Chains A and B, each alone.
Chain A
């Protein structure tokens, strides 16, 4: 009898388990416990835990909130041809970033080691917030406003591009986030 024929012993569930299997199952079960422990542990001891704070919102309302921030905190105009406003909001404040076909709007300027409540939402299709080289990737979904606290730990110019396919010009959807000392 083999694995493609019925078990020879009709009461196969009474057969003893191989010792190798017992050793392995014990080891793998304990490893599962370690991995299951790591996630809640990181919530307590780690600094990278994505917030779940989310609100339902309409695209118009989200755009209005972003516009209000832009009106208040724009410090200069970004590079041509887009000429997007560069916004430098106060440390600790609410910061809004709009994902849309095929832009991130506006350009944000943040301070190193300060924490910001960054709001993310899309006003049309789904997008992917990919901040590089910081390696932070967050799904951006229309009608949902996701509030994530971010604390930049190094100054420099970061890129944010889209990593959720969003149509024919998906690969042009890129902008800058400045982090200053």
Chain B
């Protein structure tokens, strides 16, 4: 092998293929730029829905809301995920990246698509929200930009698969790929399914917007679009859970409690998670209850089970490693003495807790066939997905980025004090956003709505309970906190890349960047009795109790409304 094509990281021993490294950097930088853009729009949205502030005019609000969703939910996350796929294949397997030029074509298509999309929406005639529900139409360039972006992302997935083949062929690793790479493979397989669903619906919609097709059936659009729209969120779930495992390994030298269970849980995502797209269609006409129940329970809640397994095994792997290192007293010594000032750890742990308690429970409850009647299209929905996608995915990506700055970019992190606070500011702010949006949703406040005082409506108005306006105001306050946290992240990363102390290729970072794994023998006799990770088990049981209580409370609410049959 040509050594100039590779460098070995002096801190971690990871082997970086230089062309892959450049691609990772480009994708990660693009990701942060779109996060910054989308985060700015978030502030405008939050301040407009705060009824007393009501910042933007209606047409601007709907335009900015469209831009907010696309920039942070699609562009930031997908660019980061492509970087992650290259890292989990080329770097973790220590092999060259397949077809780097092809990967650059993919990057260019994604960048062109994302920029085109922002430009066309800013022109004001494509304020159709991310879902662009036909027969409400956007400018053809709107659909074209998304198609270009998706093709670029698909190329990234194929480069990833090609790299796996090369690693296998050139025997750069022994036995099976690591658990984290396995999680990335899960994400990439779901991504292919997702992008194909997107192509099936967006290509005809583009032709329809060009008057080449006469009619798009609105119900068909919804069914297939959500095969794309929701599955894309399953890519994120697989990706950020892979990152949780990776950070546990990096920070603590953790290994999975058992490979079999964690890998099965990833596999179950591929088998069942896409069924979740029907969550969006629970109060639609024309679909049978059997179809809705089978799909929304992911065939008996098997994908929920997978997430709950990861929710146990990720902190469990940390607890076991900490106990093996001697933090074996009581239930929670391992957690108390965790590095809470390190943003890579705190970001990951807040991501885990927020995703489970706020995002997971609300998602399953709202995704129950009948309970959805109470909550469909209310602010509860964005409340739920700000917990899953922002606290879960975005914060996990941020946490990993703090670690990648010295490893990948060979720059020391600047503003370390601010960085140690950033996950709390962002995670705490976003937890408030999620809770108050969900709270407003439970009293019926609609999502994607400029003015719930109905001041422009001629005649009828609806007086929401006073709590609705209070919660929208509190949401506005927490949006400001979260945006400050997001901005802090962007500033720290950009400043580190520009001004951080350069680390030579063979120069070790002054602080260790990867933990030494405990020896196998140290794992003997940890925990209490046959329970190796009692603290995690207690956490899991608290989670379970909250879940069950909240689930049945919602059935009770449902029973109080009109008869529906």
Contact = CB atoms under 8 A, between A and B. Distances in A.
Interface of A: 1-7, 10, 12-13, 15-21, 23-25, 27-29, 31-33, 35-36, 38-40, 42-43, 46-52, 54, 78-82, 115, 120, 124-126, 128, 130-139, 141-146, 148-153, 159, 161-176
B178 A4 contact: yes
Interface stretch (B300-308, B335-343, B469-477): B300-308
A75 B458 CA distance: 22
Listed residue (A166, A172, A176) with the most chain B CB atoms within 10 angstroms of its CB: A172
Contact of B446 (A2, A5, A33, A162): A162
A15 B260 contact: yes
A2 B129 CA distance: 42
A174 B532 contact: no
Nearest to B379: A163
A146 B219 CA distance: 12
A104 to B, nearest CB: 9
Contact of B284 (A32, A43, A141, A143): A141
Interface in B220-254: 222, 245-246, 248-250, 253-254
Given A130-B377, A163-B449, A3 B258 contact: no
Listed residue (A49, A50, A134, A162) with the most chain B CB atoms within 10 angstroms of its CB: A50
Contacts of B372: 137
Contacts of B284: 139, 141
A128 B376 contact: yes
A141 B218 contact: yes
B176 interface: yes
A148 B561 CA distance: 15
Nearest to B174: A6
B259 A7 contact: yes
Given A48-B370, A49-B565, A134-B562, A81 B459 contact: yes
B457 interface: yes
Contacts of A49: 289, 370, 564-565
Nearest to B287: A52
A83 B255 CA distance: 70
Contacts of A4: 92, 178-181, 245-246, 249-250
Interface in B511-565: 517, 530-533, 536-537, 540, 544, 547-548, 551, 555, 557-559, 561-565
Nearest to A53: B285
A122 to B, nearest CB: 8
Contacts of A2: 178, 249, 253-255, 517
Nearest to B252: A2
Given A4-B92, A141-B285, A171-B58, A126 B136 contact: yes
B415 interface: no
- 9 shortest A-B CB distances, which residue pairs? A32-B301, A151-B563, A146-B285, A163-B446, A159-B462, A2-B249, A137-B376, A163-B377, A165-B448
Given A6-B174, A151-B562, A172-B456, A161 B446 contact: yes
Contacts of B447: 163
B444 interface: yes
30 contacts: A2-B253, A2-B254, A2-B255, A4-B246, A6-B175, A6-B176, A10-B174, A18-B533, A23-B537, A28-B309, A31-B548, A32-B300, A47-B564, A49-B289, A49-B370, A52-B288, A81-B459, A126-B222, A131-B562, A133-B465, A135-B373, A136-B564, A137-B376, A143-B217, A148-B564, A150-B562, A159-B462, A168-B62, A173-B457, A174-B454
A12 B259 contact: yes
B364 interface: yes
Interface stretch (B153-161, B312-320, B416-424): B312-320
Contacts of A3: 178-180, 245-246, 248-249, 254-256, 317
A67 to B, nearest CB: 21
B151 interface: no
A54 B283 CA distance: 12
Contact of B133 (A36, A125, A145): A125
Contacts of B536: 20
B531 A20 contact: yes
Nearest to A102: B457
A50 B133 contact: no
Listed residue (A32, A49, A168, A169) with the most chain B CB atoms within 10 angstroms of its CB: A32
B507 interface: no
